[in-house]
Amino acid sequence: MNSSLSNIYFDTNKYWKKELQNSIKTLEELIDFLGKERIKKSPYSYILEESYKKNFQKIHQNFRFQVTKYYISLANLYNQNCPILLQILPNIKEIEDPVFKEKDPLREEIHSPIPELVHRYPDRVLWYLSHNCAVYCRFCMRKRKVSHPSTISIKQNLFSIIEYIKNNKNIKEVILSGGDPLSLEDKFIEEILFHLKRIEHLYSIRIHTRMPVTLPYRITEELCNILEKYYPVTVVTHFNHPIELTDIVYEKIKFLKKSGVLVLNQSVLLKNINDNASILEELFLKLIKFGIKPYYLHHCDEVYGTSHFRVSLQKGIEIIRQLQGRNPGIALPKYVVDLPDGGGKIPIVPNILKNMIHQIRNIYVIIMLIIKYIN
């Protein structure tokens, strides 16, 4: 983080709640924080126009706006493709999408045997723990659910979900997701981990969170003690751009890893934000430097209100092809497409035909060696 920013924040175990409560939730608050005069001179001067203010209210009714002061402090008003602002500023295309029409293209709802539990694959389930996030990303694949205020039903379903997992011995992994599960209190997170760790046929528990990106102060001593107590636990973060990897993030990830947590990252390929081989090269290398393994690079899902973020598959393949040979293997995530209608994740491998030919050639050489040995 810039030194000027690092002096603003005080790292205590309670600070993250105060920071979350003081998040920017309206356009007026955002303008006040960024500075009206500075905005006038920037490529984002359109947010001062009455037409944008009206559209903002329309969009807000469908999908709330919220950003932490920490995260917005990373923004550059004078960059027309600022990766922070483009991820958080509402766009009228979110409610007037000319391309994508499905709110749930991955068919999570029809694979939900119990409210808030998704069972799309035989060996794992996704537990939707919270509607809330520190920052509401405009490309969110669960916009149909995220940002709705009630979390009562989620807590009410706790024991029925635990029983479902207990009774289905094919389930080997539970993914805690949302919203953001780390928006919940420590005691609730511990209660869930306590019950899950008592199920013998579970091998893996993953927590999917964007808190290390948008509110790194959430990684507290208390939280790390809980994660260490229920070792092993995997935390999957969501960094999309190298600018999000700040000094405080480095310290928090190091703190997290000292608790025995495996830290992975999944990014989304986003138009004008990170659809560039140089940006992704820096992102993946920096993640490794921070102790985070790049895990997935997602092709943006076909969710209603997100088509303006989507990069062509051809461009995505070309970017991955360029990264091969520039980044070591440990700094190359799988590039995946989550198929509509619940078809699952498909890895996209550049030059797949060339690789197949190479494998056939290797098999041929092995067969010839065997024949030679037999003779």
The predicted-structure confidence for 334-350, as pLDDT tens digits, reads as follows 999 987 766 678 888 87
pLDDT of residue 351: 66
Region class of 301: left (phi > 0), else alpha (psi between -120 and 50), else beta: beta
pLDDT of residue 157: 85
Query: Residue with structure tokens 């932490």?
Result: 68
The CA R_g of the chain, rounded to the nearest whole Å, is 22
- Please, which residues have CB within 8 angstroms of residue 29's CB and are 6 or more apart in sequence? none
348, 316 contact by CB (below 8 A): yes
**Span of 221-225, 263-267, 349-353 with lowest mean pLDDT:** 349-353
Helix 186-197 and helix 221-229: axis angle, to 10°?
A: 10
Residue 84 CA to residue 302 CA, distance in Å, equals 22
Residue 221 CA to residue 210 CA, distance in Å, equals 18
Residue 116 CA to residue 59 CA, distance in Å, equals 24
Residue 91 CA to residue 180 CA, distance in Å, equals 22
Q: Which domains does the chain have, with CATH numbers?
A: 3-94 (no CATH), 109-352 (3.20.20.70)
Question: β-strand 117-121 against 234-237: which pairing, if any?
Answer: unpaired
Residue 71 CA to residue 64 CA, distance in Å, equals 16
| pTM of the entire predicted model | 0.88
Q: Virtual CA dihedral for 28, 29, 34, 39, nearest 10 degrees?
A: -10
Tokens matching residue 153: 């039903």
Stronger pLDDT, 325 or 371, i.e. the higher one: 325
Q: Virtual CA dihedral for 315, 344, 180, 152, nearest 10 degrees?
A: 140
Q: Which residues are catalytic?
A: 120-121, 124, 133, 137, 140, 142, 301, 338, 345
The predicted-structure confidence for 346-364, as pLDDT tens digits, reads as follows 888 876 545 554 555 556 5
pLDDT band at 325 (very low <50, low <70, confident <90, very high): confident
User: In this structure, is the dihedral angle defined by the CA atoms of residues 179, 180, 185 and 190, taken in order, positive or negative?
Assistant: positive
